[in-house]
RNA sequence: GGAGAGGUGGCCGAGCGGCUGAAGGCGCACGCUUGGAAAGCGUGUUUAGGGAAACCUAACGUGGGUUCAAAUCCCACCCUCUCCGCCA
């Protein structure tokens, strides 16, 4: 959420930003609601001041009569205010974060490639996609996943289970080496936390979130939610350095409205496990940590050694909370079509959210002069157990249909083949 | 799951329905004192919103209610602690 004061003073900037983020919201209506809200608050506060003054001593019968009327007046105004407040909050929450000046302007396809590690894998045979590879090697069972839970659920089998564990341990070792505190988080969170982090449970038809009936809990779509909430309503001491976490959780996504998008095999599923980095830092440090997180993602993927590119996400594809976002896309044979052997598919993502989430979650830090200010938050994926196995199996497949094990995983997975 | 106790400032802990944003203590900051320190003494010490300022408003777990007036009375919920039961 943006500071309403900032919106008041920079109306045109905010309007323009909403436009390039492709968010339809009427900033004028928001400001009018804000105006009404402030007038009501003033009225109510004046009435309360009057009443408090009279309540200091013992009022006369006459005054009591008068104050009774004042009390009713306050109550009436409060009712109006609570409606206006609700309207105001809904509008304010819908305003997206500002956009980094270097982020490309445009939609999903207008990203900018900022780094490519090497040329795509070249196969001297017709490469398979991970779905065939995994099925042929008895590493996954989609049909029984569908039977037991539903479409887009699956059972991992045999050495895929071992590789998943190995990947997590490999990721944990790298990220904690950089000073990140290891967490395993709840897989459910309160709706208020979800919304604070910028996710929209219930209500909207396009929600990505599974909600638990008769409760205020939802299944998390990422540990970003639980770790973001970890320090909600706290004043942090960042004088000793940023708070850096790496958290393991399951992730649940309804993928509503995602039908028709690439959804072969493991690429788009309803449940997977993920190791996620999250940083709370001072505003002046957030760009630095964004680079740090991206570099750790690179370190992890460089070790696994498959072709990838890093892209700078365009304004219209940033979502609500991100100020700037980099995705790492792995080369995948499943993305091939026609005479192309493959294409790039997202495997990690890292975002700098500035104080957008911190403001909603009320996460502040103590400055040197003793005052407080909102912290900045950043997040990025370290290991994703749906997409990493895709990149590994597809890039490490052999002529005979078997799958080799990346060298960096050997200490964690002592196998020649999966 | 059953029984009981309790949630007040950075912490501990008071608080007849009205002058209590909240006694007292600890802690912390500054000053005096000292060769220096401790002790002692003095002063200060919540947060948020509005206002140029004086100042005003809000917050005593959360939400509702009673009242001219609620930290204080009533109701619901949440959380913590103790005991019993059950349990991976």
Residue A141 CA: distances (Å) to CA of A274, A309, A385, A394: 20, 30, 15, 17
- What pLDDT shows up at residue A236? 86
Separation CA A412–CA A162 (nearest Å)? 9
Distance A197 CA to B28 C1' (A): 35
Separation CA A188–CA A104 (nearest Å)? 35
* Strand B, CB < 7 A, residues 58-117 of A: 58-59, 64, 67-68, 70-71
Q: Which of A145, A168, A122, A138 has its CA nearest to residue A388?
A: A168
Q: Which residues of A define the annotated binding site for ATP?
A: 253-255, 269-272, 346-349
Separation CA A96–CA A369 (nearest Å)? 31
* Strand B, CB < 7 A, residues 224-283 of A: none
Is strand B within 7 Å of residue A8 (CB)? no
Q: How many residues does chain A have?
A: 418
List the structure tokens of A361: 């979650």
Is strand B within 7 Å of residue A48 (CB)? yes
Residue A213 CA: distances (Å) to CA of A198, A216, A253, A276, A382: 21, 8, 16, 27, 32
> In CATH terms, is domain A108-409 a member of 3.30.930.10?
yes
Going residue by residue through chain A, which has 418 residues, state the pLDDT in tens, using 9 for 90 and above: 899 999 998 999 999 999 999 999 999 999 999 999 999 999 998 898 888 887 776 777 777 888 888 888 888 888 888 888 888 988 999 999 999 999 999 989 999 999 999 999 888 899 999 999 999 999 999 999 999 998 899 999 999 999 999 999 999 999 999 999 999 999 999 888 998 999 888 766 667 889 888 788 899 999 999 999 999 888 888 888 899 999 999 999 988 766 655 577 899 999 999 999 999 999 999 999 999 999 999 999 999 999 999 999 999 999 889 999 999 999 999 988 877 888 999 999 999 999 999 999 988 888 877 778 899 999 999 999 999 999 999 999 999 999 999 999 999 998 989 8
Domain residue ranges in chain A: 4-94, 108-409
pTM beyond 0.80: the answer is yes
Strand partners, A273: A250
Q: Tell me which nucleotides of strand B come within 7 A of a protein CB.
A: 18-19, 47-50, 56-58, 67-69
The DSSP element (H or E) to which A222 belongs, if any, is none
Separation CA A168–CA A144 (nearest Å)? 25
- What pLDDT shows up at residue A380? 96
Is strand B within 7 Å of residue A148 (CB)? no
> In CATH terms, is domain A4-94 a member of 1.10.287.40?
yes
Is strand B within 7 Å of residue A399 (CB)? no
Q: Which of A195, A173, A203, A127 has its CA nearest to residue A361?
A: A195
Please name the nucleotide lying closest to A52, CA to C1': B69
Distance A360 CA to B44 C1' (A): 34
Distance A251 CA to B15 C1' (A): 49
Interface confidence (ipTM) of the complex: 0.82
Please name the nucleotide lying closest to A67, CA to C1': B68
Distance A370 CA to B30 C1' (A): 16
Q: Which residues of A define the annotated binding site for L-serine?
A: 222, 253, 276, 379
* Strand B, CB < 7 A, residues 311-370 of A: 370
- What pLDDT shows up at residue A306? 94
Is strand B within 7 Å of residue A205 (CB)? no
Distance A371 CA to B51 C1' (A): 20
Distance A184 CA to B81 C1' (A): 27
- What pLDDT shows up at residue A305? 94
- What pLDDT shows up at residue A57? 67
Distance A36 CA to B69 C1' (A): 28
């Amino acid at each position: 959420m943006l500071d309403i004061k900032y919106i008041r003073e920079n109306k045109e900037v905010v309007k323009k930003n909403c436009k390039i983020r492709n968010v339809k919201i009427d900033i004028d209506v928001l400001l009018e609601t804000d105006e009404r809200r402030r007038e009501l608050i003033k009225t109510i506060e004046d009435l309360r001041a009057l009443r408090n003054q009279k309540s200091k001593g013992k009022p006369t019968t006459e005054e009591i009569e008068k104050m009774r009327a004042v009390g009713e007046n306050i109550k009436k105004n409060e009712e109006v205010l609570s409606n206006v407040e609700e309207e105001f909050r809904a509008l304010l929450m819908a305003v997206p974060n500002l956009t980094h000046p270097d982020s490309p302007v445009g939609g999903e396809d207008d990203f900018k490639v900022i780094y490519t590690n090497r040329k795509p894998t070249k196969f001297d045979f017709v490469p398979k996609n991970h779905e065939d590879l995994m099925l042929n090697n008895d590493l996954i069972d989609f049909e029984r996943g569908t039977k037991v839970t539903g479409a887009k659920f699956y059972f991992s089998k045999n050495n895929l289970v071992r590789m998943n564990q190995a990947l997590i341990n490999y990721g944990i070792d790298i990220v904690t080496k950089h000073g990140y505190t290891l967490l395993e988080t709840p897989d459910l969170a309160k709706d208020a936390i979800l919304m604070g982090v910028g996710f929209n449970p219930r209500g909207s038809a396009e929600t990505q979130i599974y909600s638990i009936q008769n409760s205020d809990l939802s299944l998390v779509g990422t540990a970003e939610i639980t770790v973001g909430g970890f320090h909600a309503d706290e004043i942090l001491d960042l004088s000793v350095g940023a708070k850096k976490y790496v958290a393991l959780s399951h992730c649940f996504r309804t993928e509503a409205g995602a039908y028709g998008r690439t959804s072969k095999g493991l690429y788009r599923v309803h449940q997977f496990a993920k190791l996620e980095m999250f940083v709370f830092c001072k505003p002046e440090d957030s760009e630095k940590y964004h680079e740090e997180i991206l570099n750790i993602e690179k370190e992890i993927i460089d070790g696994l050694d498959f072709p990838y590119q890093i892209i700078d996400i365009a304004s219209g594809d940033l979502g609500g909370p991100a100020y700037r976002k980099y995705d790492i896309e792995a080369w995948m044979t499943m993305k091939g079509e026609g005479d192309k052997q493959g294409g790039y598919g997202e495997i990690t993502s890292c975002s700098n959210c500035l104080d957008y989430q911190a403001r909603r979650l009320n996460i502040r830090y103590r400055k040197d002069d003793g005052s407080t200010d909102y912290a900045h938050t950043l997040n990025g994926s370290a290991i994703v157990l749906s997409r990493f196995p895709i990149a590994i199996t597809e890039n490490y497949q052999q002529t005979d249909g078997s799958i080799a094990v990346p060298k960096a995983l050997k200490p964690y997975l002592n196998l020649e083949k999966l």
